[in-house]
Amino acid sequence: MVTTSIFPGRYVQGAGALDLLGEEAARLGRKPLALVDKSVAALVSGALHAKDGAPFDQQEFGGECSEPEIARLEAIAREKASDLVIGIGGGKALDTAKALAHALGAPVIIVPTLASTDAPCSALSVIYTPEGAFHRYLFLPQNPQVVLVDSALIARAPARFLVAGMGDALSTWFEAEDCRIKGAGNMTGRPGNATAYALARLCYDTLLEYGEQALRACERQVVTPALERIIEANTLLSGLGFESGGLSAAHAIHNGLTRLHGTHSYWHGEKVAIGTQALAILGGRPPALIEEIYDFSARIGLPTTLAGIGLEDASDAELLQAAEAACAPGETIHNAPYPVSPQAVLAALRAGDAIGRGL
């Protein structure tokens, strides 16, 4: 059997890493376009220049990783003859930067200012509708050339983002394990190897060991070794684990939940956490492991009930709509080594909500 794992070209992490942006950009292009989240523009503006001090062209991210936004930016980049894309901000800005670089045939540098998702390292962009509903995956031919993570910037963001990143990372081992057992393909379409599955397990173990300490540091906007470990888990380990290990039910359930308007004000990782809890029930994980998932989620402030993602009053009909979307042909839930159906997903969501209400 042929197995495959994929990785970003270079991963740089630490307090003050943003100061290396000009140096990294000089290796890859002469006319960079920096796509910047409006919310962090003031924080990063001092670093958006080449080694010789020439400023990068800057464009403000429109707020949604959608086909119209990518097309808008592509027109600007082609007019300016940009030969390098630098994405700076949260997960949707970074996915947009990756998609833009692909459209241009240019390299990309990814600079996450949040540790809220595992998007930065992957050769994947999640495309949404302009209204925020999941639309499709865009599979890219290669991973980012550079992922540059400034831990001091991450520490300045509200702690909820770090917690959401832990929610996204929480799914990594469970989904990779599903794929390993079934022999399902990862993002390349081929099974992962032992390295991928070991990194996915390391991601889970790191969350349990350092998650609470890292949260306390982030709440005080200070960088500690524990925070560095969780930033790495949320960004690198989770990214490598999902991409090279594979996805199954948790992210498919997340995608289904985005069909319900009440979830749109909640972060990706918060909804993925609900998907992971449902996955554990759907897959018949041991009760002690399910208890561990819920206990960890509650201790760091991840949602454990449907109310926690805006679905307190959701009807069975509404949840079934989400469950049907989660089980659509081609969705990653079909990588699971256990029976899946919309009715089973609905039952897992309701059972998981009951467990969370009992905490």
Q: Give pLDDT, residue 118.
A: 87
91 is in an annotated binding site: yes
Parallel, antiparallel, or unpaired for β 134-139 and 124-128? antiparallel
Query: Are 184 and 321 in the same domain?
Result: yes
Task: Give the end of a domain, one of 155, 176, 207.
Answer: 155
Residue 130 and residue 98 share a domain: yes
Q: Is the pLDDT of residue 33 over 90?
A: yes
Q: Is 122 annotated as a binding residue?
A: yes
Percent of the chain clearing pLDDT 90 (strictly above)? 93
Q: Does residue 169 surpass a pLDDT of 90?
A: yes
Please check whether residue 4 lies inside any domain of the structure: no
Q: What are the pLDDT digits (tens) for 238-249?
A: 999 999 999 999
- Domains: count for the chain: 2
Q: Are residues 51 and 118 in the same domain?
A: yes
Active site residues: 168, 251, 254, 268
Q: How far is CA 343 from CA 72, 248, 315, 326, 328, in A?
A: 40, 17, 14, 11, 13
Same-domain status, 166 and 150: no
Q: In which band, very low, low, confident or very high, does the pLDDT at 146 lie, cut at 50, 70 and 90? A: very high
Helix 342-357 vs helix 316-326: angle between axes, to the nearest 10 degrees? 120
Nearest one of 238, 219, 322 to 274, comparing CA atoms = 322
132 is in an annotated binding site: no
pTM for this model (two decimals): 0.92
Beta strands in 3-67 (DSSP E): 11-14, 32-36, 57-60
Q: pLDDT for 76-120, tens place per residue?
A: 999 999 999 999 998 899 999 999 999 999 999 999 999 998 889
- pLDDT, residue 223, reads 98
The answer to the question of residue 100 being in a domain is: yes
For β-strands 108-112 and 146-150, DSSP reports them as parallel
Q: What share of the chain is helix, strand, coil (3-state, %, to 5)?
A: 55, 10, 30
* End residue of a domain, out of 90, 124, 155: 155
Looking up residue 263, the CATH number of its domain turns out to be: 1.20.1090.10
Nearest residue to 24 via CA among 149, 141, 154, 115: 149
Q: How far is CA 76 from CA 72, 100, 193, 291, in A?
A: 7, 11, 41, 50
49 is in an annotated binding site: no
Helix, strand, or coil here: 263? helix
Q: Are residues 319 and 268 in the same domain?
A: yes
208 is in an annotated binding site: no
Flag whether 50 is marked binding: no
Residue 51: pLDDT over 90: no
Write out the residue range of the structural domain in which residue 61 sits.
10-155
Cα 320 versus chain centre, distance: 25
Question: Of 47, 50, 55, 128, which Cα lies nearest the Cα of 88?
Answer: 47
Asked if residue 1 is part of any domain, the answer here is: no
* Residue 353 marked in a binding site: no
Is residue 106 domain-shared with residue 233, that is, in the same domain? no
CA separation, residue 256 to residues 132, 235, 264, 275, 328 (Å): 12, 24, 12, 10, 9
Taking alpha carbons only, the member of 101, 87, 116 closest to residue 21 is 87
**Domain-located, residue 115:** yes
Question: Is 17 in a helix, a strand, or coil?
Answer: helix
